[in-house]
Amino acid sequence: MVDVMESSDDVATGDLVLCVPMGWDTYISREFHEIHRNLVALGWKLMVVGAVEEEQLLESIHRARVVLLWECYELLERHAEPFAALPHGVRRIVFCDDVHYFSAHRRAQRQRAFDWADLILATYPEKLVDWFPETKRNIKWVPHAAASYFTPIFAPASDRILLSGSRAWPYPFRQFCAAKLSPEVCHVVDHPGYPGYPGDKANQMRADTKALAAVGGERYASLLRRHPAMLVCGSIFNYLVAKVFEGMAAGCLIVADRSSLGLRLAALGFHENEHYLGTDIFHAMEDCAAVQRSFSSSDKCWSVITERAAQKVAAHHTTAIRASEIHTLCVDEVRN
């Protein structure tokens, strides 16, 4: 990794402007909020869309050397002309998470941002290329990361494998496991729902407030620590979701749907039977039963895999590390 302080020598305070939609500080996951805070510590000026006057925000962007728009598609849509007219020396960077879409308008919002950017930071770059083939910009992979409260302080209260997260139509693996695995083997925790999505007014999803209070944020880390293992998948979109890193960081054995997660995990150096266990719908029932037996019999295989995975996440995939990597990528745009 490039040394952050060295790469920042030619960038002064106020030159780095980070624009984020309001709501990340109260979202069900604190991953992005922690990355934002770490970027501020590295010298970025944080501008929260909706918390400051947009005229003030545009003035700050106009004076910057680097502008990072974090899922600010609606802001860019509202002010397309001022953003297009930024001075030539301003480096334009976009961060994007989910890139699937179900309407022409949603796709156009994202394409506008991709066309505007000099550099795109993407959690799912291969999907961006597949679904936005006209995008010819420089794209860098910035995977998800584990927030700071996911630490391996194991406090088992069950020998069952945890299944949590949405079981809506994009998650057939979770649907299958919830329907077919015995309650004696699998503990199913319903998703509380999403409290909307920052920067997406069209998203009208609502959360169960009581359920969110029970399993959101830090409480989710506690839930993981109470289980020896958890089932994870990448949905029909094959997204390498944050849940993988969170489970590993919490010391929970990852039992991953091989077809939706295996390739991207391997690309980051996570290998089956070394950092996680792989499965599929044909073998999930017997694999989960075997994991339960392994944990109950104090099999060293369980502890070796979980320790190895937790160490790898701590060394490469925390929010602090991810912020440092993002900072370096952005500052290097100035130097290039």
Q: Please report, for the chain, the start and end positions of each structural domain, with discontinuous segments joined by +.
A: 4-145+318-335, 161-316
Domains 4-145+318-335 and 161-316 are alike in CATH topology: yes
H or E, element range at 187:
strand 186-188
Predicted local distance difference test score (pLDDT) of residue 136: 83
Helix, strand, or coil here: 119?
A: strand
Predicted local distance difference test score (pLDDT) of residue 8: 47
Contacts of 245 by beta carbon, 8 Å cutoff, 6+ apart? 143, 144, 145, 146, 150, 313, 317
The CATH architecture of the domain made up of 161-316 is: 3-Layer(aba) Sandwich (3.40)
Predicted local distance difference test score (pLDDT) of residue 198: 67
CATH superfamily entry for domain 4-145+318-335: Glycogen Phosphorylase B; (3.40.50.2000)
DSSP 218: H
Q: What is the pLDDT along the chain (336 residues), one digit of tens a residue?
A: 334 434 444 555 559 999 999 888 877 789 999 999 999 999 999 999 988 899 999 999 999 999 999 999 999 999 999 999 999 889 999 999 999 999 999 999 999 999 999 999 999 999 999 999 999 889 999 999 999 999 877 777 899 999 998 899 999 999 999 999 999 999 999 876 665 566 666 655 565 677 666 677 788 899 999 999 999 999 999 999 999 999 999 999 999 999 999 999 999 999 999 999 999 999 999 999 999 999 999 888 888 999 999 999 999 999 999 999 999 999 998 877
Predicted local distance difference test score (pLDDT) of residue 25: 83
Cα 23 from Cα 154, distance rounded (Å): 30
In this prediction the pTM is 0.92
Cα 214 from Cα 220, distance rounded (Å): 8
Question: Pseudo-torsion of CA 165, 170, 174, 180, nearest 10°?
Answer: 140
Predicted local distance difference test score (pLDDT) of residue 217: 75
- CA quadruple 310, 313, 314, 318: dihedral positive or negative? negative
CA 273 to centroid of chain Cα atoms: 24
